[in-house]
Chain A
Amino acid sequence: MIVVLTAGTTDEQRDEIVRELKELGLGVRAMRGGGQPLLHITSGPTRRARQVLRDDCVQALVPTSGPRLRRHGHRIYPYYLIRWSAAGIVIFGLMVLLAGQLPPGTGEEIQLQHPPATLDWPWYLNAPRALVQAFDAQQRWIGWSALLGLVLVTLALPLIDRTKGEGLQRRWPFVGASVVLVVIALYLTWTGASA
């Protein structure tokens, strides 16, 4: 919102209006434009500025384009909300679709004396299980140690990677290692623990 003051407004009169606007809770910046003194309302509920229209020095109020204002003068930019809501609706729709097309089953009755020949582990445990089971029973500890080491390195990455900037030229060892790790993890997840 721009408050346009008449051309003959003195500095004292301008300061008086600025003081009045600040008392109304508005942030004001004095400027000049088109040969006239102007007051740019930078924050606060701009509709309150209408109260200064009764002052003879105020020629007009010019609303500036921009986001709507809500109570307490907070500016609302609903773009995040709109995009996030759309994304939320899409993912919820996907869940409903999957629930209808691939409903979870109830499984077989438990047989305490007859464990199944193969256990159906969840897919998200395939990669860590494959890493551990890559070693035979006597050397399984190597697999566990490797898994633990991987977790510790991942946790400590901010301390290990001290590079600056986003460029691939500086970060290529880390980007390369990350890509290799992701590809291996995907492969092990896909093939399962038998790999």
Chain B
Amino acid sequence: MQGRELSLRQAIWGALRSPLPPGYSGRPTFGWLLVVLFAVQLFTGILLATYYQPSPALVDDSLRHLMRDVSWGWLMRGIHHWASHGMIVLCALQFVRFLISGAYRGPRCGQWILGLAMAALIVAIAFVGSLLVWDQNAYWLLTRTLTVIESLPSIGPGLASILRGGEQVTATTLNRALAIHAMLLPWVLSLLIGLNLWFLGRRHARGGEK
């Protein structure tokens, strides 16, 4: 491994050709599974987006069509739904592992901050995604959430107005929720995952992680 600056490719390549340390306990697997589930989410999300119609009048029909008429549509939606829960569970397990073992100390400080940001993003993506069903519960959850955001001092009203796209929860709100769920947050999460892998690769090259 030459130099300390590593590309993503080098980081992955380095991980593949690293022998397992004695007493390997499978710890890095949590992070890997998160990446796997994120890839699953991207794949199933793209497939779902080809059938999902972000219009209040058509959401329900498009979801029923997906579940009943589209080949394997029920499976794609089910996997997308459960993988989001799985990601949150894995995040929580990783968080507890870091917390108990004190792995946030020293050179892993940056990764700790990154990990918390990623966990917050994963929860936000899952929550916004659950609103896209646009049923009675989702509509009122969104309304309540926007009310809470609006009550935040100074930035609250402006932020709520941007998210809502006006004074009322309408089709614009649904479109914005979709944009946040499918475009904005996943890109940010991808960036953070890449940054995390880069941190890992760099530490690996320095001999900090066996």
Chain A residues within CB distance 8 Å of chain B: 67, 74-81, 83-84, 87-88, 91-92, 94-96, 98-100, 102-104, 106-111, 115-116, 119-122, 124-125, 154-155, 157-158, 161-163, 166, 171, 174-175, 178-179, 181-182
Contact = CB atoms under 8 A, between A and B. Distances in A.
Rank and list the top 4 A-B pairs by shortest CB-CB distance, nearest first.
Answer: A99-B78, A107-B135, A158-B109, A104-B81
A109 B82 contact: no
A99 B56 contact: no
Given A77-B16, A87-B32, A87-B33, A104 B138 contact: no
B51 interface: no
Contact of A79 (B19, B33, B130, B140): B19
A88 B32 contact: yes
A107 B78 contact: no
A4 to B, nearest CB: 27
B141 A121 contact: yes
A99 B140 contact: no
B141 A88 contact: no
A100 B138 CA distance: 23
A91 B20 CA distance: 21
Contacts, number: 152
B127 A77 contact: no
Contacts of A155: 113, 116
Contact of B74 (A99, A116, A154): A99
B197 interface: no
B77 interface: yes
A116 B102 contact: no
Nearest to A106: B63
Contacts of A67: 17, 19
A88 B36 contact: yes
Question: Which residue among B33, B82, B88 has the maximum number of chain A CB atoms within 10 Å of its CB?
Answer: B82
Contact of A74 (B13, B83, B112): B13
A161 B67 CA distance: 50
B105 A178 contact: no
Q: Is the interface of B mostly helix, strand, loop or mixed?
A: helix
A99 B152 CA distance: 37
A92 B102 contact: no
Interface string B96-139: 10011110111011001100100000010011001001111111
Given A95-B79, A110-B136, A161-B105, A77 B19 contact: yes
A92 B36 contact: yes
Contacts of A110: 56, 134-136, 139
Contacts of B140: 115-116, 119
12 contacts: A75-B17, A80-B15, A80-B18, A83-B26, A92-B36, A94-B82, A95-B79, A103-B77, A103-B81, A161-B105, A163-B105, A174-B102
Contact of B105 (A108, A111, A124, A158): A158
Interface in B14-39: 15-20, 26, 28-29, 32-33, 36-37
Given A76-B16, A163-B105, A166-B102, 18 more contacts: A74-B17, A79-B19, A80-B16, A87-B36, A94-B82, A95-B37, A95-B78, A95-B79, A99-B77, A103-B74, A104-B133, A108-B136, A110-B56, A120-B141, A122-B126, A155-B116, A161-B102, A182-B96
